Each structure stands twice: as structure tokens, then as C-alpha cells.
Amino acid sequence: MLFPNADVVVNPVLLVLLGLIVGTLGGFFGVGGGFLITGGLLVFGVPPIFAVGTGLTLIMGSSIINMLKHRGLGNVDFKLGLLMVCGTIPAVFLAERLNSVLEAAGLAGPVIRYVYVVVLLLLGSFLIYDYFKTRRRSDGMAGPDGTDGPEGAVSTARLARRVQSLRIPPHSLKLLPGRPAVSTYVRLKVSGIDRISVFIPLLVGFGIGFFAGLLGAGGGFILMPVLVFVLGIPTTVAIGTDLFQVIITGSVGTLFYALGNQVDPLMALIILAAASAGSQIGATATRFVDAGRIRILYGITVLSGCLAVALEQVAETLPGLESLSQVAAYILLGVAGTMCLIIAGLLARAVWRGRGATDEARP
């Protein structure tokens, strides 16, 4: 099938499969899936500039679809998301300035890839370490809806409590003359936090925004673990709020590429239609799959991304190894596809067990 804007012929069945994978993983993990979308389109032969532009558009579309699904499940903390965005926006511009300096020095590509590899390696390794460390303590304590249950469900519960209890001055601000001062502490009801300083979400948003701007991603792959392990947000709420954040932080890049006519709308429409179906599977699965399993599956997916980026860097650095770039893309798609099958299997098993329990309860 010919896609005129990108001027490339691609089998639409492959685009549908990519959309299903992106939608399922986005709904389950709460990430936009930018690294997966762009890598997949490059494997299909889409020109790089259109792969990036169309990929950004798809990130926005799939994140909106998944966020709406999670909103219906009550998993989105809009107050927390808006507070983080206030710190994210200036950090993105700061990171873009740093990228411009690195680009002028000819260091942007290698630095970004090395940082990406280190961040993904540390993040994926920690997620897997946390799962095995807390498996015995959390066994049987996480609810069937996927929430984190008791505080022992994550290894950093004590850290999260300390972060939530931090008291950062000023404790109140006088915004308008003649009006009483406004407290700088808020309650995040959806996240289950009774009192937290607004400066903490602002600092988290700033850090995520800086990494997002530096690495050219939505930042969702970092934000979800930060919300869980640093702020103590339940995993399902972290997923939904993460998607809300990705929508806002990635909107500017999508607009720029669309105005530059570097997006293929027909290609985006096909993938988004499939992603909407996949998102139903992924988001629904978070209600039935244990939160610890969600995190370890995410950790494995992150490590596959780390390996793919590392191979890409080797392919560009060492002569004669250009084929590793294709290998990297196939690793991304292969692991992502396997994760989708695992998620669908876990959901099917949970639904089957639920039906069995209902049948046994009937007189």
C-alpha cells in the first residue's frame, strides 16, 4: 500500500500489528511507546524524518486513547499531573538548549545514546531487583485489581513516606493583595496522599522534563517508576497519570512536525485504529494483574530497549556492523510482541478464574 506523504510502500497488516503492540503496552505500562513506534517504522522502510514525525503523532494519539481508558477506571490524578507539568515545561526548553550546544560540538548523538543506555540499564535492573526483593513480602497482599496493597509491596516504601512528609518552605504564598495566603501543601486524593508539598511534584516534573528534552522522548518510561518508588503512588494510578503527562509534554513536538508536513496521516490513522483496540486489552489487564508483575514485565521491556539502543550505537561507531541497526529494531519488536502475548494471557487467565469463582458461588 502506498503512503503518499512519506512516499513509501508498506504492508498495512504490519502497521496494524504495530498499532496493537503499541496500544497494548501503552495501556499496560503507561508509556507512549515512542522508541517502539519509531523503531518499527524504520524497520518497515519509512524515511527517518517521517518515522519520527509520524511516531510523535502516534505517541500523542495512543496516549490520549489509553489515558481516557484509565480515566474511566479512576487511575488518573489530574491535580498531580498538572503540578508536574508546571516543572516539566521549563526543563524541556533547558534540555533543548543543552542539546543545541552538544549538536554544535558534534556530540549530540553519542551523548544521548550513552545516557539513554545508562538510564534504561539502571531503571530496568532496579525494577527486576525490586520485584525479587519484595516478592515474598507482597505475595498474597496485592489486591486482584492490581493496586499495591500494603506498604511492603515495594522496596522503597520508607523512602516514599519520607518524601511525602518533607516540609519545604515557603509553606504559604500570598498570591493576591488583600487575600489570605495560600498553603503550598495539597491533598492528592486519587494518589492516596493526604498532604504533600507542591514543590515535590514540581521538582519531579522538572527532572522528568529535562530527561525528556535531552533524550527526545516523552519521558513516560522514567516517570512511571519515579511515581511508584519515590512518591509512593499506586502502580495503576502512576500508569494513568504518566499517560496524561506524556500527552502534554509531547504535544509541542507533534505540532512542529505536523506543520512541517513530516507526518503521514494515513499511516497514523491505520496504526491508531489498531492501537485503540490494543489499549482496551492493556488498560483492562491492569485491573487483574498484580502490580509487581506489571513492574517486572516493564523492567524486562526497558532492558530490551537498553540493548537495542546499545546495538544502534555500536552499529554507528564501528565500520562494517551497520546490520546491527536492523537487529536492534527486531529485538525491540520481538520483545514487545512477546510482552503483548504475555499480557493477553494474564488477562485471559484472570477472567477465566473470575468466571470459575462465579460459577462455584452459584447455588
CA distance 167 to 183: 12
pLDDT at 215: 67
- Domain assignment of residue 23, given as a range: 2-361
Per-residue pLDDT of 107-118, as tens digits, reads: 766 777 788 788
Contacts of 87 (CB under 8 A, 6+ apart): 201, 202, 203, 204, 205, 206, 207, 209
Of the listed ranges 13-17, 167-171, 195-199, the one predicted with least confidence: 13-17
Per-residue pLDDT of 46-60, as tens digits, reads: 776 677 677 777 777
Bridging pattern class, strands 185-188 and 193-197: antiparallel
Per-residue pLDDT of 282-305, as tens digits, reads: 888 888 888 888 888 888 988 888
In this prediction, residues 94-109 reach a mean pLDDT of 76
> Other CB atoms closer than 10 Å to residue 28's CB: what's the count?
30
Per-residue pLDDT of 324-344, as tens digits, reads: 877 887 887 888 889 989 988
pLDDT at 144: 42
Q: Is the dihedral of CA 136, 160, 81, 60 positive or negative?
A: negative
How many structural domains comprise the chain? Answer: 1
CB 198 within 8 A of CB 187: no
Strands (E), 144-250: 172-173, 182-183, 185-188, 193-197
